[in-house]
Structure 1
């Protein structure tokens, strides 16, 4: 899946381990959210920013809202492709569209959207996304959806 500006979404590869599944070897539904969280973290790392460094600088990203739709199960030992694409970029928040696909056949297993807010670490109040980070996200796919003043 390509972004409207032609930049492909960031994709993180991961494997389904025993700890991710129920007794039948099927991924427990909440673990898809964990896979997507890891993809957002790796997307940030790919842009040159570490959450640990940002936290030391007093900046955190917190999930404001999450929406997920499940299509098919992932199973023990499946390799997954988890995408993270910025589809909305505001002054102090961004929205990701994410998909989890099985690597062998690219079957869509789960998809969702996540609104992530930028907050101050000391009081958890909203704060502007730093300019360098904002520009990096804009180049990753959110440039066409930025809205001033939000």
Structure 2
């Protein structure tokens, strides 16, 4: 299992009239965690795209447990529970500064040749970076 955590602050522009983080921002928070998780592995997402491989989202589920508020410092934990193949499952846990769980989610993404739109295997360099987290 691979995990990575990133902190981000809820900006004023991300809030609704009640001062809560607008519900539509959570997929963006998930994306930030994914991109930074790849970077921490030594395989930046940009490098993958430059090599012609993209990762479209196939499915997403979001569970709201409590609101995040303007200026809250959030910890977004990314979890990759299984060794990826042609698809990659991501789990997310978002906690506020009091360590209260405020959001959980899941996305499934696929590796895709950006030129043809066809599925491809995980890039070999990424496989080398992530496989040590799954070998027991």
Relative to the length of structure 1, the TM-score reads: 0.84
Which residue matches 1:137? 130
Q: What TM-score, normalized by structure 2, do the two folds share?
A: 0.92
Gap runs ≥5 in structure 2:
none
- Cα-to-partner distance string for 1:29-61 (whole Å, 9 max, x where unaligned): 111111111100100111112222211211111
93, 99, 115: which one aligns with 1:106: 99
- Which 4+ stretches in 1 moved above 4 angstroms? none
Distance 1:79 1:61 in 2: 28
**RMSD between aligned alpha carbons?**
1.5
For structure 1, the 5+ residue unaligned runs are: 145-150
Pairwise CA distance, 1:76: 0.1
Matched position secondary structure for 2:46:
helix
Q: 1:52 aligns with which of 42, 46, 60?
A: 46
Q: Which residue of 1 aligns with 2:86?
A: 92
Any conservation in 2 of the 1:20–1:28 contact (CA below 8 Å)?
A: yes
